Amino acid sequence: MDKKLTTILADVFGLRESEIHPDLNKEYVDNWDSLKQMDLVLSLEREYDIALEIPDILKMASVSGIIEVLKEKGATLED
């Protein structure tokens, strides 16, 4: 999984990088609320130099959804 994305998710949600995996979603992260979602959006926009729209943000309810949106926006992700 992309190291940069893993670092962002760990920082935003206060998780260890080892806890970040594609199946992780809002249901399993206690503090993944609307404020953290906006923190995530701003961090991703800044780090990947992209602009996220409301439909993109709604898709980002899991790590796999975030990866999908980033790829749709043309972000380069390492595997």
Over residues 7-35, the pLDDT tens digits come to: 999 999 999 999 999 999 999 999 999 99
Q: Check residue 79 and give its pLDDT.
A: 73
CA distances, 52 to each of 18, 27, 37, 41 (Å): 26, 22, 12, 7
pLDDT in tens, 33-49: 999 999 999 999 999 99
Contacts of residue 6, defined as CB under 8 A and 6 or more positions apart, other chains included, come to 17, 20
Q: Provide the mean pLDDT of the chain.
A: 96
pTM for the whole structure: 0.94
- DSSP readout, 43-56? HHHHHHT----HHH
Assigned CATH for 3-72: 1.10.1200.10
Domain boundaries, the chain: 3-72
